[in-house]
Structure 1
Amino acid sequence: MTERVRAVLVTPDDTMLVIRRTRPGIAAYWVLPGGGVEPGDASREAALHREIREEIAGKADIVRLLHTVETDGERELFYLARIATWSFDDRTGPEFSAEGRGEYALEEVPLTLEGLDGIDLRPEEITHVLRGAIGAGRLGAGVPL
């Protein structure tokens, strides 16, 4: 089974970092930073740290596993993490130079129900998980991770 790791990266301003994907012929959508677990990765968390370095030149403190989604031979693990510094201009991931992959734009979105309503975050299941956590007061502005 293929495994992917992604992070809900919470900033000091209680926003979350998301990547807006713009591809030819497809409406814009947003994803959380992350990617595939590679054979050389010591753990899933190590893979997530590598992906965060590649995609946003950042270093995050992983808090905990938030949710797992399994579909057709793929498992995606979503972690909750804190991040204080990043530099989208210094990203190094191979996907950024691949032709035909479209555009990647890093955005900060308020970690609120309104913030989630303003984007098409994929997969849809993680949006439901985040909405539930925010609505129950377990995630969002002022809530310790």
Structure 2
Amino acid sequence: MLERVRAVLVTADDTMLVIRRTKPGIPEYWVLPGGGVEASDESREAALHREIHEEIAGKADIVRLLHTMESDEERQLFYLARVKTWSFEDRTGPEFSAEGRGAYALEEVPLTLEGLDGIDFKPEEIVHVLRGAISAGTLAPSSH
């Protein structure tokens, strides 16, 4: 089964880093940084650190597993993380040079219900998880 890891990257300003995807012929949408777990990754967390480095040239502290989504084809693990540094200009992921993949833009979105409602965030299931966590106040990492 294919495994993917994604991060809810919370900044010191209590915003969340998301990637705005623009592809020809479809409306723009937003996703969390992350990607596939590779055989060379020592763990899911190691895969997430590698993806964060590739996609945003960032470093983050993983706080905890937030949610798991599973289908017949893949399992997606969503982690809550506190992001310390990032530089979208220094990203190195192979997807950024692939032809026809469209544009990737890093954005900070307020970690509020209004912030979530202001974007077409995918997948829908993680939106419901985040809305519940924001409402319950359970997204603040303990080191905050």
What is the TM-score when the length of structure 1 is the normalising length?
Answer: 0.96
Count how many residue pairs are aligned between Structure 1 and Structure 2.
Answer: 142
Cα separation, 2, equivalents of 1:22 and 1:103: 5
Determine the structure 1 residue equivalent to 2:124: 124
Determine the structure 2 residue equivalent to 1:10: 10
Q: Deviations over 1:49-98 (max 9, x none)?
A: 00000000001000000000012310000000001210000000000000
In the alignment, structure 1 segments of 5+ residues that lack a partner are none
Moved over 2 A (4+): none
Task: For residue 26 of structure 1, give the secondary structure of its aligned residue in structure 2.
Answer: coil
Q: Deviations over 1:17-63 (max 9, x none)?
A: 00000000010000000000000000000000000000000010000
Alignment of 1:1-145 (within 5 A): 1-139=1-139, 143-145=140-142
Task: For residue 13 of structure 2, give the secondary structure of its aligned residue in structure 1.
Answer: coil
Letter in 1 for 2:12: P
Q: Percent identity?
A: 83
Q: Shift of residue 105 of structure 1?
A: 0.1
Cα separation, 1, equivalents of 2:2 and 2:54: 20
